[in-house]
Copies of this chain bind each other. A is one copy, B any other.
């Protein structure tokens, strides 16, 4: 990649970083081209060398945010161990991810039901893919014996939804103590779901 390409890439990053930072306190729909370019140290017109409009930048941010979330989900699904350890590990990984990617997580929580259709749809489509992936990982487990595709999808959806809402809760935690309470609650909830899962086929 030539110097010019590298510089362009750098400017694009600066715009996305500025956007991400500004979006911690406001909605994508309320974010302005001038605002972002100002924060990125660029002239307003320069924005258009990278994005068609703000929605376009939003979609780019969704892709980036969900890519890092994808890594997270995959890593949890690959873990092996007893139910209890898996639950502890899951909650721990969510908490760490939120800590390390506050802006991305906040952006997703905020724009998931936000005012920009393209962005909403991108988030929804990606969460569906997560659910599918989780479902595929649950299928071969012995506890899932006799489960239909529909039942697996239902369970996967419950897990994904729980992950999202737990991440959003961590985001709002005002202090470490609140974080610990959220983690404890999330672990109990996962334990309860796991129990229900084990007894699903008891008739």
Interface residues of A, Cβ cutoff 8 Å to B: 25-27, 29-30, 106, 109-110, 112-115, 124, 150-151, 153-155, 157-158, 161-162, 165, 168, 172, 184-185, 188-189, 191-200, 202
Contact = CB atoms under 8 A, between A and B. Distances in A.
Nearest to A107: B113
B185 A192 contact: no
A5 to B, nearest CB: 34
Number of copies: 2
Q: Main SS of the interface on chain A?
A: helix
Given A155-B192, A196-B192, A197-B192, A27 B185 contact: no
B30 A115 contact: yes
A164 to B, nearest CB: 8
A74 B182 CA distance: 26
Contacts of A172: 124
Contacts of A153: 185
A57 to B, nearest CB: 15
Given A151-B188, A154-B185, A27 B114 contact: yes
A117 to B, nearest CB: 8
Contacts of A151: 188
A2 to B, nearest CB: 39
A197 B123 CA distance: 32
A154 to B, nearest CB: 5
